[in-house]
Amino acid sequence: MVRFILRRAALGLLVALTVMTLAFMLTRLSGDLAISIAGPGATQEDIEIIRKAYGLDQPLYIQFASWISRALVGDLGNSYFFKDSVSNLIAARMPITMTLGLVGLGLALLVSIPLGTLAAMREGTWVDRAVTVVTMIGQATPSFWFGLILMITFGLTLGWLPISGTGSWQHFVMPGIVLAMTATPALTRLTRSGMIEAIASDYIRTARAKGLTRRSIIFKHALRNAAIPVVSIAAVQLGFMLGGSIVVETVFALHGVGFLAWESIAKNDFPVVQAVVLVLATIYICLTMLSDILNALLDPRIRST
């Protein structure tokens, strides 16, 4: 188990380094950063000053090496626009994004596990088919548009929920629902296929032969096994959701990390952009590791090897 975790960690580090390289290359795509930072109307002199100040006059590999070495100790550089360290900026906004992600994941699990179980129990019937159609609808709905529709319906017409901002828990309801919608189809399908496999298994036949109640057979024996992949994939889904939070945060003007990234892209604030890419990728890497560990913990067959 320890070896397994160490190997996963080494792999994760390698992936993180690759993503760092990509993030660095990404921000150098446009050619001369100094011109972009200086903005329109800057004199050649201004540009030269900026180039020196940000170390952009040095060769690329030196810039890269210094970025990597500083990033490894947690120094992600300074924002051009906010005049603050990038680490501070991200740290200040991370709680909102995390809250949003967890609310979204919670809602997604709350919907997809019962829905998937129901579909599996009624496999082949109209209930099953209806669940399939629902997951397809969820898959085909553009999340930003769904957010706007919710705003019009619950924010304006019904007036139940605040339209944007982060003042109270109500502010997280609509964004959470939108984010949940992006993860629900995959989780529902996974629950369904896992449950169908479990229900058809020999140990469920044994459980029935033991005269257990239907509830105990489904919820204790089948769901326990079907839930193992769902829980571990849920961790990975959380990673995707955090990455996708940029859309939701922009729609609902939630000032989280995604919103920060969007603002920074618009303002050519490259240190922030590359840092957010790196941070989100790192979180994703950690979550996939967590997913593997969860999987091992939940499944006795893997746990003991």
Q: Rule CB under 8 A: which of 127-166 touch other proteins?
A: 128-129, 132-133, 136-137, 139-145, 148-149, 151-152, 156
Nearer to other proteins, 13 or 72 (CB): 13
Contact between 258 and other proteins (CB under 8 A)?
yes
Which one among 221, 238, 259, 275 touches other proteins, defined by CB under 8 A? 221
Which one among 124, 126, 158, 215 touches other proteins, defined by CB under 8 A? 124
Nearer to other proteins, 136 or 169 (CB): 136
Which span sits near other proteins by CB under 8 A: 40-48, 60-68, 72-80, 237-245?
237-245
Least distance CB 28 / other proteins (angstroms): 9
Cα of 200 vs its chain's centroid, Å: 33
- Cβ–Cβ < 8 Å for 120, 151: no
Nearer to other proteins, 108 or 196 (CB): 196
Residues 3-42 as x/- pattern, contact with other proteins by CB under 8 A: --------x--xxx-xx--x---xx-xx-----x------
Q: Smallest Cα–Cα separation from 187: which of 238, 123, 149?
A: 238
Residues 6 or more apart whose Cβ sits within 8 Å of residue 87? 74, 75, 76, 275
The tokens of 6 are what?
């160490």
**Strand blocks (E) in the chain:** none
Q: Contacts with other proteins: how many residues (CB under 8 A)? A: 78
CA pair distance 242, 12, nearest whole angstrom = 18
Nearer to other proteins, 153 or 169 (CB): 153
Which span sits near other proteins by CB under 8 A: 37-45, 90-98, 238-246, 289-297?
238-246
Measure the CA dihedral 119/148/141/168, to 10°. -40
Nearer to other proteins, 109 or 119 (CB): 119
Least distance CB 255 / other proteins (angstroms): 16
Q: Look at residue 162 and give its three-state secondary structure.
A: coil
The tokens of 296 are what?
């091992």
Q: Smallest Cα–Cα separation from 35: which of 271, 268, 276, 273?
A: 268
Which one among 71, 105, 228, 254 touches other proteins, defined by CB under 8 A? 228
The tokens of 184 are what?
């629900």
